[in-house]
């Protein structure tokens, strides 16, 4: 299962692990109670991420089951993003929610997804590496950062067009129907 732990909340570089001393691991069961699901699906032969024809490939099965018809591959690195890199990195790390699930399948590289535990509002840091398939539920507050290796390539799954909108956490998102529905679902 995916490795996760409580974030230390220190104001140092977001790319550092931010593990507390002693470490406070978070179990897959705790993540599941928050609606965070994960699988490990070996990448071998699926490096491009875009082949939808293989029904045996677990990623395609999960996508189909959950009604995620569209996909793209994002390469988060200075080389892969050019001029928008700094801005994107900042945007990914701003606490936000979506009205759909955020589904990511890591093809190469690594990084951290931070998700808010409820009702504590503590940050849980989820370490992702190649083969990790992560589902963040609609309405969960979260953010993403690269680690110090500064590179990740991931398949992003979308319900409809390849767009999914980040809503920065605010009083308005606290009242958003998807946020309220999420809290009801996990409560």
- Residue 152 lies near ligand KMT (rule: CB under 6 A): yes
Residue 97: contacted member of ligand KMT, Ni ion, none (CB under 5 to 8 Å, by partner type): none
Nearer to ligand KMT among residue 22 and residue 139 (C-beta): 139
Residue 146: contacted member of Ni ion, ligand KMT, none (CB under 5 to 8 Å, by partner type): none
Q: Which region among 35-43, 55-63, 148-156, 170-178 touches ligand KMT (by CB under 6 A)? A: 148-156
Nearer to ligand KMT among residue 24 and residue 85 (C-beta): 85
Question: What is the token pair recorded at 143?
Answer: 């953010």
Q: Which region among 19-27, 99-107, 108-116, 146-154 touches Ni ion (by CB under 5 A)? A: 99-107
- Residue 137 lies near ligand KMT (rule: CB under 6 A): no
Instruction: To the nearest 10°, report the CA torsion of 154, 158, 161, 164.
Output: -80
**Residue given tokens 């890591």 in the structure block:** 106
Alpha carbons 75 and 92: distance in angstroms, whole number: 13
Q: Determine whether the annotation assigns residue 96 to a binding site.
A: yes
Alpha carbons 38 and 135: distance in angstroms, whole number: 6
Alpha carbons 134 and 105: distance in angstroms, whole number: 6
Q: Determine whether the annotation assigns residue 142 to a binding site.
A: yes
CB atoms within 10 A of CB 60: 19
Q: Determine whether the annotation assigns residue 18 to a binding site.
A: no
- Radius of gyration (Cα) for the chain, nearest Å? 16
Nearer to ligand KMT among residue 26 and residue 146 (C-beta): 146
Alpha carbons 118 and 88: distance in angstroms, whole number: 27
SS3 call for 15: coil
- Residue 126 lies near ligand KMT (rule: CB under 6 A): no
- Residue 101 lies near Ni ion (rule: CB under 5 A): no
Alpha carbons 6 and 114: distance in angstroms, whole number: 9
Helix (H) or strand (E) holding 92: helix 85-92
Residue 76: contacted member of Ni ion, ligand KMT, none (CB under 5 to 8 Å, by partner type): ligand KMT
In the complex, the smallest distance separating the C-beta of residue 158 from Ni ion, rounded to whole angstroms, is 12
Could you tell me which residues are annotated as the binding site?
Answer: 96, 98, 102, 142
Residues making contact with ligand KMT (CB under 6 A):
74, 76, 92, 102, 104, 111, 144, 152, 154, 156
């Amino acid at each position: 299962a995916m490795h996760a732990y409580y974030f230390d909340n220190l104001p140092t570089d977001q790319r550092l692990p931010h593990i507390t001393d002693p470490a406070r691991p978070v179990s897959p069961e705790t993540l599941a109670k928050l609606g965070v699901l994960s699988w490990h699906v070996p990448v071998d032969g699926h490096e491009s991420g875009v082949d939808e024809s293989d029904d045996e490939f677990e990623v395609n099965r999960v996508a189909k089951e959950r009604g995620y018809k569209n996909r793209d591959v994002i390469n988060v690195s200075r080389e892969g993003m050019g001029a928008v890199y700094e801005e994107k990195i900042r945007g990914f790390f701003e606490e936000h929610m979506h009205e759909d699930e955020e589904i990511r399948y890591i093809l190469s590289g690594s990084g951290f997804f931070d998700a808010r535990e409820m009702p504590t509002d503590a940050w849980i840091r989820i370490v992702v590496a190649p083969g990790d398939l992560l589902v963040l539920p609609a309405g969960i507050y979260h953010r993403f950062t690269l680690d110090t290796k500064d590179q990740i390539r991931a398949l992003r799954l979308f319900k409809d067009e390849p767009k999914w909108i980040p809503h920065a956490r605010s009083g308005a998102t606290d009242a958003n129907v998807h946020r309220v529905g999420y809290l009801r679902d996990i409560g």
